[in-house]
Chain A
Amino acid sequence: MTEIHVIENYTPEGKRRAFVLAEDRVGHYPEFREFFVRQFSLGANRLERPGYVRASSGMIYALVFIGRSGEPFPDGIEIYALPDALEPLNDSDVDADLWALLRWMIAGVGGEWRVEQLDATGRLYQLSVAANA
């Protein structure tokens, strides 16, 4: 679970936001929303700033939290890679980083959700990133 590191006080400079993944309903299972609230202090900070994490590829990702009237915050999440402004993404690096981010999330959600179950699901669906998990 050391592949993803939360970065505090990050200020992106010379970077662009490259959209890589979105979740419209992070509270479908409420414990997932609670994980992000805990991890990024969203009860206090809410919309002030994205959450930033660094993945093992070295890429930094911004987690942008989405609010909707009538729903607990956050209701959605958009994940952006932050490459150098004019550089294209490396697809396989992003794929591996996202898988690592999911593993980090599941470990953080905890309870009945276990990383071994995510790995087994990845293997069932023959994801290359899960092959050696």
Chain B
Amino acid sequence: MEASGEVRRFAHQQWPYEPNYKRVNGWQMHYVDEGVGNPVVLLHGNPAWGFLYRKFVKPLSAAGRRVIVPDMVGFGLSEKPVREQAHTLDGHIANLTGLLRQLDLRNATMVCHDWGGPTGLGFALSNSDRVRALVIMSTWAWPLPPAEFHKRIFPWRMMHAPLVGPYLLGHHNALAGRGMYLSVVDRKKFRAEAQSVYEGILPDPGSRLLTWTWPRWIPLDESARGLARFEWLERELRKSKFPTLLVWGREDEVFDHATFATRFKELLPHAEGPELVTGRHFLQEDSGEEIAGKINRFLDRIDGKQS
């Protein structure tokens, strides 16, 4: 919602969904709310927004599920704070918690990708009475460090270094454009149907702040700001018994499945998968319908077990 009170609407043939807004934790948060049934919450990360799940909404809602797709505060159609200090990992978990409590969701399946992992799992592990299952894709939930890639100066640490981040990712929108392009398998299709949408939703440098702020929250050493929260995530996740499905991109070089899906499997030995699909980090772009089908079948199996 703009300062005028006007609802922000994104008109696009691939995104025919009504906008919904809640004020949560001091910010206006946008979400899509389609279908009826047990809720499935689809959580994006950096620098995406709900559009990443455009191929999930119809198959999941058609299968009798309520599909909630929030835009993280700072992305998509949600309010975009203009100061880096407005963004903290705990604050983003609190944003999501505020939204899902206002919607009074119960029996929710949390579908977690990228920073939707630490935030969505943070919600699930602190609101276990509202959650019934997890789907985990290309993310992490433990300290130090997520991947070898994140320790390297070229390109990762350089990309978000002081002043370089605001210039490269702010002035030049490098992550929503070229960055996502490099992180899909079918780049021609991505460029044709999606890249301009991800770039256009972050229209000016001020709106792109979170694209270089999130990378700075990845713990790289013992002094990192988010370290204690990640230690808590790992500790609590290891104790959790949520039915879980792991889905990973076969071509994901950053959160490679051999390292990351395997580690989740160690934390959650009862998890199904990892089920591998065509995809790099943004596997939803390459295999959206296929992953939605896997989620439907996974939830059908849970329903069968519970009936």
Residue in chain B with minimal CB distance to A77? B163
- A126 and B177 alpha carbons, distance in the complex (Å): 10
Question: How distant is B168 from chain A, measured CB to nearest CB, in Å?
Answer: 6
Whether A102 contacts B163 by the Cβ 8 Å rule is yes
B171 contacts partner chain A, Cβ-Cβ < 8 Å? yes
Binds A, one of B11-19, B97-105, B150-158: B150-158
Whether A99 contacts B158 by the Cβ 8 Å rule is no
B178 contacts partner chain A, Cβ-Cβ < 8 Å? yes
Instruction: Please name all residues of chain B whose beta carbon is closer than 8 Å to the beta carbon of A24 when the two chains form the complex.
Output: 83-85
Instruction: Please name all residues of chain B whose beta carbon is closer than 8 Å to the beta carbon of A117 when the two chains form the complex.
Output: 153-155, 158
A118 contacts partner chain B, Cβ-Cβ < 8 Å? yes
Of all A-B residue pairs in the complex, the 9 with the closest CB atoms, nearest first, are A24-B84, A125-B174, A32-B162, A117-B154, A121-B158, A26-B162, A121-B155, A23-B163, A125-B178
Whether A105 contacts B153 by the Cβ 8 Å rule is no
Chain B's interface size range is 20 to 34
Instruction: Please name all residues of chain B whose beta carbon is closer than 8 Å to the beta carbon of A25 when the two chains form the complex.
Output: 84, 162, 216
Whether A22 contacts B166 by the Cβ 8 Å rule is yes
A44 contacts partner chain B, Cβ-Cβ < 8 Å? no
- A122 and B158 alpha carbons, distance in the complex (Å): 10
Identify which of A27, A32, A99, A124 contacts B167 (C-beta below 8 A): A99
Whether B172 contacts A127 by the Cβ 8 Å rule is yes
Give 18 A-B pairs besides A28-B160, A101-B163, A117-B155 with Cβ atoms closer than 8 angstroms. Answer: A21-B163, A23-B162, A23-B165, A24-B84, A26-B163, A28-B162, A29-B157, A32-B161, A77-B163, A98-B171, A106-B164, A112-B153, A117-B154, A120-B155, A121-B155, A121-B168, A124-B178, A127-B172
B91 contacts partner chain A, Cβ-Cβ < 8 Å? no
Instruction: Please name all residues of chain A whose beta carbon is closer than 8 Å to the beta carbon of B178 when the two chains form the complex.
Output: 124-126
Query: Most chain-A Cβ atoms within 10 A of its Cβ — which of B83, B154, B158, B162?
Result: B162
Whether B162 contacts A113 by the Cβ 8 Å rule is no
Instruction: Please name all residues of chain B whose beta carbon is closer than 8 Å to the beta carbon of A127 when the two chains form the complex.
Output: 168, 172, 174
Instruction: Please name all residues of chain B whose beta carbon is closer than 8 Å to the beta carbon of A77 when the two chains form the complex.
Output: 162-163
Instruction: Please name all residues of chain A whose beta carbon is closer than 8 Å to the beta carbon of B69 when the two chains form the complex.
Output: none
Instruction: Please name all residues of chain A whose beta carbon is closer than 8 Å to the beta carbon of B83 when the two chains form the complex.
Output: 24
Instruction: Please name all residues of chain A whose beta carbon is closer than 8 Å to the beta carbon of B158 when the two chains form the complex.
Output: 113, 117-118, 121
A3 contacts partner chain B, Cβ-Cβ < 8 Å? no
Residues of chain B from 79 to 113 with CB closer than 8 A to chain A in the complex: 83-85
Residues of chain A from 26 to 53 with CB closer than 8 A to chain B in the complex: 26-29, 32-33
Instruction: Please name all residues of chain B whose beta carbon is closer than 8 Å to the beta carbon of A93 when the two chains form the complex.
Output: none
